[in-house]
Amino acid sequence: MGDDVIEKALGLLCDRYIFPAKAAEAATLIRAKRDAGAYDGLDETALGERLTEVLQGICADKHLRVRPRGEDVREALTEEQIVAAYEQQLRRNNHGIARVERLEGNVGYLDVRQIPDASVGGRAIAAAMELVSHTAALIVDLRKNRGGAPNGVIFWTSYFFPDDQTHLNDIYDGESGRTRQFWSLAHLPGERYLDRPVYLLTSDVTFSAGEELCYNLQAQGRATLVGATTRGGAHPTEYFPLSPTMEITVPVARSVNPVTGTNWEGTGVVPDVEVPAEDAFAYAYRKALDHVLATGTSTALLDEARAAVAGLPSA
């Protein structure tokens, strides 16, 4: 069983990894270790950890992993079954949207822990944005966001731009050799969120598509990032079952930001304001309330904002 899993993993690695030379180097080392008995007698968790250690040691790619499959996808072996399991998981997790709230002082707050594929989660994203559409400033909490779908990132970030004229990202696909451009969308359900400050909260957990949302908006000067440097995974990835209980995640493409000419792979996204992740919300909320106090005209709203500032920890 272990040898079958290893060979299938290495075959997928060499066929699909975005950097073929690195894949070949890693495969050679893993086969040598296997032949020397390094993986004999390991359970699935330990085998996955040992293989991942070699893969990441050579490729330095945090998306590249061999691991046990989650209980909810163990019967999903075909592409159709995997997609169905993914969509079910998204629905169960409310499409990654853990919380939507209007905070005191008319500041919007979104706790987003996964970026759904727009074809599945677009209605949920639109609903969340509708609920904060009339706030004076917005905080998007990505401190627990572990990734998602590139087209979901484009759908969500399009709400912060006026039209379809903003070039947000490019993705180079290794198998086809083609580069796809991603631009802001011409049409969105509901209102766009324009001309108001947006704060993104980050941590060292923030990963993959969550990082892309941060990187795209930061590169365009459309949001202020507050918190800690993110984890550093920029390569779009596919999941391949090796058995009903094991899988490999293989980066099959790479992002190229049209503003910076590069991405956040290995470095993470560095916030504009570096504070401990646990302090990021208080900092961003204070800044949002300062904006409300500087621009608000309603006496009731200004009183509400002042009371909210008074309740925050000392700066």
pLDDT beyond 60 at 1: no
Query: How far apart, in whole angstroms, are the C-alpha atoms of residue 89 and residue 118?
Result: 15
Tokens in use for 46?
Answer: 């330990």
- pLDDT, tens digit (0-9, with 9 covering 90-100), for 259-273: 999 999 999 999 999
Q: Per mean pLDDT, which of 26-35, 71-80, 86-95 is the most reliable? A: 26-35
Segment 223-241 shows an average pLDDT of 95
Q: What is the pLDDT of residue 89?
A: 84
The HSE-up count of residue 178 (CA atoms within 13 Å, CB side) is: 3
Of 82-86, 89-93, 300-304, the poorest mean pLDDT is in 82-86
pLDDT beyond 80 at 168: yes
- Residue given tokens 């451009």 in the structure block: 181
Q: For the sheet with 167-173, list strands across it.
A: 179-183, 167-173, 253-256
Q: Which residues pair with 169 in a beta bridge?
A: 182
- pLDDT, tens digit (0-9, with 9 covering 90-100), for 45-67: 999 999 999 999 999 999 999 99
pLDDT beyond 90 at 252: yes
Average per-residue pLDDT in the chain? 95
pLDDT beyond 80 at 75: no
Segment 130-142 shows an average pLDDT of 98
Confidence grade of residue 37 (pLDDT, cut at 50, 70, 90): very high
Q: What is the pLDDT of residue 76?
A: 67
Q: What is the pLDDT of residue 88?
A: 85
Is the four-CA dihedral 297, 298, 300, 301 of positive or negative sign?
negative
Query: How far apart, in whole angstroms, are the C-alpha atoms of residue 297 and residue 274?
Result: 32
Tokens in use for 19?
Answer: 């950097």
Q: What is the pLDDT of residue 315?
A: 66
Q: What is the pLDDT of residue 74?
A: 65
Asked if residues 280 and 227 have their Cβ atoms less than 8 Å apart, the reply is yes
